[in-house]
Amino acid sequence: MSDRESIAQELYKEDFARKTATREAYFARGFDVARQRIAFYDRLILLAGGTLTLSFTAATTFRSKLPLICGAYLTTEAILFAVSIVFALAFSWLTLSHLVHSNRSVTIDSTLSNRQFSKFLATSFLFSLKLEESTAEDAAAQAKSTKWAKGTHMAAAISAVISVIAFVAAYVFFFLFVHANLFRNP
């Protein structure tokens, strides 16, 4: 192996190690943030389910004395809590899907980048490296994963917003229900 080839091999190894470390750090941060977001929405689901159960328990306790408006509050509250729960579950699923596809996209992109860097080294130092050619399938798979990752990220963000808005609105109706039951005139 000539000096040029050994220098090129060392450059390639250093570049590959740097890109691998960067990619691993990026995904470690991304997974930590995603885990915290999913944990938040899991707690939101538990709180919504518990409050819904409490509302139904209170409604059965006050059933004989329940004014008509309380039934409307309870129904609206139940629907909003159900919407909040469904969209929080959707957020969790879409976030996990986004992580899988963005990881796949970056891995394919890294592979293509390594091949391009190797070709650059080979042409710069005038020797041939034994490289696998990047195929159109690699590029198509990378584009598909990137598109899916962007779509799932947007859908997860929309699901998160809808879930939180429905949750807050449900609590407004919960407090209206409680107020109508505790502070009504006999």
If we measure between CA atoms, which residue out of 111, 114, 101, 98 comes closest to residue 144?
A: 101
Torsion-angle region of residue 51: left (phi > 0), alpha (psi -120 to 50) or beta? alpha
For the chain, residues with pLDDT lower than 70 are 1-9, 11-12, 16, 23, 62-68, 101-143, 145, 184-186
Determine whether 156 is exposed, middle or buried from the number of CB atoms within 10 Å of its CB (0-12, 13-18, 19+).
buried
CA distances, 48 to each of 24, 167, 169 (Å): 36, 7, 11
Question: Global pTM?
Answer: 0.67
- What lies within 8 Å, CB to CB, of 1 at 6+ separation is 9
Q: What percent of the chain has pLDDT over 90?
A: 24
Q: What is the pLDDT of residues 23-42, one digit of tens each?
A: 677 777 777 888 888 899 99
**Residues 157, 90, 44: CA angle, nearest 5 degrees:** 85
174 touches 55 (CB < 8 A): yes
Residue whose tokens read 């042409």: 123
